[in-house]
């Protein structure tokens, strides 16, 4: 069994919506690291990806031109303040008000705003507790020679991919827009919002 497969096995249990890997050693390790993550900035560059198997799925390579950042985003709804003026309780609009974008997409956009010269390739869930969620975002530098000369990733250097995260073109963005296909050759969940508007006309 290869190294990447061992890493996947260590994180087993996430797909079952348990959100806690079955590996006890990994849980203890992350619990120790989490204390440092809480004190660190909300967007922080890291030397190496914590989950190398997931980073490689988005094209990450251990060479110049690639970068990984850890992002911390708070959990829960919009935390809207209660209105001062009078209205029916059902019209208060305080609880269960959530953003249209997923927390993962928000994490990607915050990371992109900090590193505007890079492009987001994708992101993956790292850990969560009652207050925060942590994601790692994989970047590529489209102006770096090693990226331009890499036939696997030099598509990111084309101008149409500039700041793709803000247009919902990352894997998390496509999933939120309902464009993720289920299975080989399957139909997408729904048309994009723009396509739906064109159909109505």
Res 179: pLDDT: 78
Query: Where does the pLDDT of residue 176 fall: very low under 50, low under 70, confident under 90, or very high at 90 and above?
Result: confident
Compare 180 and 26 and report the one with higher pLDDT. 26
> CB burial class (10 A; 0-12, 13-18, 19+) of residue 151?
exposed
* Per-residue 3-state assignment (H helix, E strand, C coil) for 114-152: HCCCCEEEEEEEEEECCCEEEEEEEEECCCCHHHHCCCC
Res 183: pLDDT: 54
What b/e readout covers 184-196, taking b as 16+ CB neighbours within 10 angstroms? eeeeeeeeeeeee
Answer yes or no: is pLDDT of 197 > 70.
Answer: no
Name the residue with tokens 């970068």.
Answer: 67
Res 200: pLDDT: 56
> Where residue 79 sits, what CATH number does that domain have?
3.40.1120.10
End-to-end Cα spacing for the chain: 55
- pLDDT per residue as tens digits for the range 64-99: 999 999 999 999 888 888 888 888 988 888 888 888
- For the chain, how many structural domains are there in total? 1
> CB burial class (10 A; 0-12, 13-18, 19+) of residue 106?
middle
| pTM summary value | 0.84
Query: Where does the pLDDT of residue 177 fall: very low under 50, low under 70, confident under 90, or very high at 90 and above?
Result: confident
Q: Is the dihedral of CA 144, 121, 100, 50 positive or negative?
A: negative
Question: 95: Cβ–Cβ under 8 A, 6 or more apart, which residues?
Answer: 77
Answer yes or no: is pLDDT of 193 > 80.
Answer: no
- pLDDT per residue as tens digits for the range 10-48: 887 665 555 677 778 888 888 899 999 999 999 999 999
Question: 21: Cβ–Cβ under 8 A, 6 or more apart, which residues?
Answer: 10, 11, 12, 13, 14, 27
Answer yes or no: is pLDDT of 168 > 90.
Answer: yes
Domain that holds residue 8: 3-200
> What is the C-alpha to C-alpha distance for residues 34 and 24, in angstroms, rounded to an integer?
15
Q: What percent of the chain has pLDDT over 70?
A: 85
Answer yes or no: is pLDDT of 145 > 90.
Answer: yes
Query: Where does the pLDDT of residue 184 fall: very low under 50, low under 70, confident under 90, or very high at 90 and above?
Result: low
What token pair was written down for 26?
Answer: 């990994």
């Amino acid at each position: 069994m290869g190294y990447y497969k061992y890493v996947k096995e260590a994180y087993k249990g996430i797909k079952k919506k348990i959100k806690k890997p079955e590996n006890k050693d990994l849980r203890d390790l992350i619990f120790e690291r989490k204390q440092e993550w809480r004190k660190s900035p909300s967007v922080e560059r890291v030397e190496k990806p914590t989950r190398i198997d997931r980073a490689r799925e988005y094209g990450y390579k251990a060479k110049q031109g690639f970068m990984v950042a850890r992002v911390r985003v708070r959990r829960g709804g919009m935390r809207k303040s209660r209105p001062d003026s009078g209205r029916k309780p059902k019209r208060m609009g305080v609880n269960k008000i959530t953003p249209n974008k997923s927390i993962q997409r928000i994490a990607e956009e915050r990371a992109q705003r900090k590193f505007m010269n890079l492009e987001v390739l994708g992101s993956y869930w790292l850990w969560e507790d009652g207050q925060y969620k942590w994601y790692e975002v994989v970047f590529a530098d489209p102006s770096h020679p090693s990226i331009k000369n890499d036939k696997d990733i030099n598509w990111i250097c084309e101008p149409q991919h500039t700041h793709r995260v803000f247009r919902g073109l990352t894997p998390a963005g496509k999933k939120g827009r309902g464009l993720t296909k289920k299975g080989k050759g399957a139909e997408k969940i729904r048309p994009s919002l723009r396509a739906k508007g064109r159909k109505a006309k």
